[in-house]
Amino acid sequence: MQVQFCGLTLNGCVYNASGPRTGSSDALAKVGSSKSCAILTKSATLLPQNGNPLPRTYTSPNFSINSEGLPNKSIDYYIDSETIKESVLDSGKPYFVSISGKSLDDNVEMMKRICKAPGVAGIELNLACPNVIGHPIIAYDMVQLRSALKTVASLSLPLPIGIKLPPYFDFIHYQKAAEIINEYKSTISYIVTMNTVGNTLMISPHSGSPVISPKGGYGGLSGPAVKPIALAQVRKFSELLDPSIDIVGVGGVQSGQDVYDMILCGAKVVQVGTCHWIEGPKCFDRIVEEFEEICRKNGVKELEEIRGKLKEWSKKGAALDRQGRKSEPKTSAKGGAKFQSTLDDSSFLLLSVAVVVMIQVLLVLLAQALGHLDVPAVAQFMDNLKA
Ligand code: SIN
């Protein structure tokens, strides 16, 4: 299904988030040759940098934590014509560049350089990285957010500009951020919500210490566990932002259903980050195919039919939910490991009773058979059994 985004026609609505596996043209080419509808680079800085000390990533089935500290090859690498050519190859997909400068001046300089480079479709300005040591998350500071957007607006850049936001948790913070972004609606084409949940901590039960090394173990949380937070961002911002500003949903997306949910909440397109990191670029093919299958089942032909169409809670909906959940694979409470089971609780009880009865019948049959054998020890045993 085609989507109009930033004045471009995208062949689909799923692409990669800026993050792991996006730092080099080799990695980006793999995204380009998958069913991802666009290509987005790792957040660049003015100069190349190695990022934070290792180990700086941790993964588990339900969540991941990273404090990479923006390792990247520099803006000049990502806008180099060779890099773009090697990344896009013959896919013809739009190539977006993410930037996360150490200062507003750095961001301005990078934006100017990007606009001079042919082949870039748009700029994602990351105002939400939680992992740069000594730098707070820009978009939590409303004064800084307004000043950044004011400066960007003053540049009158010819490319579409998106801003990547951190997750907000209080409605007043959403309102304040949306108010500022709406003031610059003629400059900001889209928001990307959300970056990781900043400064979370995981401790190894084996060592009693944090699982990653930088920043005392604090890092950004991502993966399936953050999906409800991401859905809330997309939903809330779709209520508050001017309709001319598109929303890119990102956070915990790992299936076609996750994409569907993001669109129901109001996302125009959806990015995949942690799942891409863990599963590799083939995740785009799987997720897109799953999403298309769900759309087919639901008779959806255009994304506009479902965009922002989240239904209100109702008793009828709750009953459908209860019924539907009975047929879902069960998830164990311990450690979140998934096990597949096609049995619900009552079927399991019936099966257990049947197995016990069968064992008893077999024991009786065995005892009868043994009773007919002329072995003194067995005869003695059978007598004892009867007694
Ligand atoms: C990182 O490189 O630390 C992750 C990028 C981000 O969270 O913006």
Three-state DSSP string of 330-369: CECCCCCCECCCCCCHHHHHHHHHHHHHHHHHHHHHHHHH
- Sequence-distant (≥ 6) Cβ neighbours of residue 264 within 8 angstroms: 306, 307, 308, 309, 310
- For tokens 């450690």, name the residue: 335
Helix (H) / strand (E) element for 292: namely helix 282-297
CATH architecture entry for 3-316? Alpha-Beta Barrel (3.20)
Report whether residue 131 contacts ligand 1, using a CB cutoff of 6 Å.
yes
Positive/negative CA dihedral, 102, 104, 106, 112: positive
- List of E strands, the chain: 3-5, 8-10, 14-16, 39-40, 57-59, 64-66, 95-99, 122-126, 161-165, 188-193, 197-200, 219-222, 246-250, 269-272
Closest CA to 308 of 218, 221, 247, 355: 247
Q: Contact at 8 Å (CB) between 194 and 229?
A: yes
Q: How far is the CA of 134 from the centre of ligand 1 (A)?
A: 14
Please tell me the residue having the least CA distance from ligand 1 atom 8: 129
Q: Is the pLDDT of residue 338 over 80?
A: no
CA 166/CA 118 separation, integer angstroms: 30
Range scoring the smallest mean pLDDT among 102-116, 231-245, 361-375:
361-375
> Is residue 218 over pLDDT 80?
yes
User: What tokens does 36 get?
Assistant: 């991802």
Which pLDDT does position 339 carry in this prediction? 33
The stretch 98-110 carries a mean pLDDT of 98
**pLDDT tens per residue, range 264-279:** 999 999 999 999 999 9
Q: What is the mean pLDDT of the chain?
A: 91
Query: CA-CA distance, 242 to 253, in Å (whole number)?
Result: 25
- Residue 234 in contact with residue 262, Cβ under 8 Å? yes
Q: What is the distance in A from the centroid of ligand 1 to the CA of 11?
A: 27
Say whether pTM exceeds 0.75.
Answer: yes
> Which pLDDT score, from 0 to 100, does residue 330 have?
75
Q: Is 52 in the pocket of ligand 1 (CB under 6 A)?
A: no
The dihedral through the CA atoms of 219, 281, 249, 246 has a sign that is positive
Spell out the domain ranges in the chain. Answer: 3-316, 337-386
Q: Predicted confidence band at 386 (pLDDT cuts at 50, 70, 90)?
A: low
Is 129 known to be catalytic?
A: yes
Query: 194 C-alpha vs ligand 1 centroid, how far in Å?
Result: 12
Phi, psi of 240 (to 5 degrees): -100, -25
